[in-house]
């Protein structure tokens, strides 16, 4: 059986997956995405507040996925990358609106809101962030 995702599991991550809502520690200036409820550097002295990431960054590493996981079958091959956001945190996301041969490490990218996958059994469609090249060729 695939790992089916209940509505609760999907709903609780909407602010992060739709809007890149993270946190910032106003004591040391560190940004956290996914959000951390406390700052590992400052601990008790940390002052954590919600902070929306700008959605801009650059590619730290990438791969072309030829053997996908379930729910992603229609999109093979797809480009998966680790993106370093301007604010510092890194995340994993698909690169869209380009071809593998145009992707490189260090390339500037920006967030777009997209359909991510489908649960075949439940029919739930999952949405979230992907990234596309900042400068279209």
| Residue ranges in contact with Zn ion by CB under 5 A | 25, 27-28, 30, 39, 41-42, 46
- Measured in residues, the chain has a length of 137
Which of Zn ion, other proteins, none interacts with 107 (beta carbon under 5 to 8 A by kind)?
Answer: none
CA–CA separation, 16 and 41 (whole Å) = 22
Among 31, 72, 118, 133, binds other proteins (CB under 8 A): 72
Q: Which two tokens mark 38?
A: 């406390």
Site string for other proteins, 27-46 (x = CB under 8 A): -------x------------
Instruction: Give the N- to C-terminal CA distance of the chain in Å, as an integer.
Output: 42
Q: Which two tokens mark 105?
A: 């490490």
Q: Could you tell me the CA-to-CA distances from 136 to 44, 62, 85, 118 in Å, in that order?
A: 45, 18, 19, 28
- The stretch near other proteins (CB under 8 A) out of 23-31, 46-54, 56-64 is 56-64
Q: By CB under 8 A, how many residues form the interface with other proteins?
A: 35
Q: Nearest distance from residue 98's CB to other proteins, in Å?
A: 15
Q: Determine phi and psi for 87, rounding to 5 degrees.
A: -75, -10
Binders in 76-135 for other proteins, by CB under 8 A? 78, 80-82, 89-94, 100, 105, 116-117, 126, 128-129
Which of other proteins, Zn ion, none interacts with 7 (beta carbon under 5 to 8 A by kind)?
Answer: none
Residue 74 near other proteins by CB under 8 A? no
Relative to beta strand 21-25, strand 48-52 is antiparallel
């Amino acid at each position: 059986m695939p790992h089916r995702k209940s509505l609760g599991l999907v709903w609780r991550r909407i602010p992060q997956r739709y809007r890149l809502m993270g946190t910032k520690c106003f004591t040391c200036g560190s940004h956290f995405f996914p959000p951390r409820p406390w700052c590992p550097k400052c601990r008790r002295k940390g002052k954590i507040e919600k902070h929306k990431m700008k959605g801009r960054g650059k590619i730290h590493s990438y791969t072309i996925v030829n053997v996908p996981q379930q729910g992603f079958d229609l999109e093979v091959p797809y480009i998966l990358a680790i993106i370093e956001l301007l604010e510092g945190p890194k995340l994993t996301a698909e690169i869209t609106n380009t071809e593998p041969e145009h992707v490189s490490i260090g390339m500037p990218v920006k967030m777009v809101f997209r359909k991510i996958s489908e649960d075949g059994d439940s029919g739930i469609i999952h949405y979230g962030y992907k990234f596309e090249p900042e400068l279209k060729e």
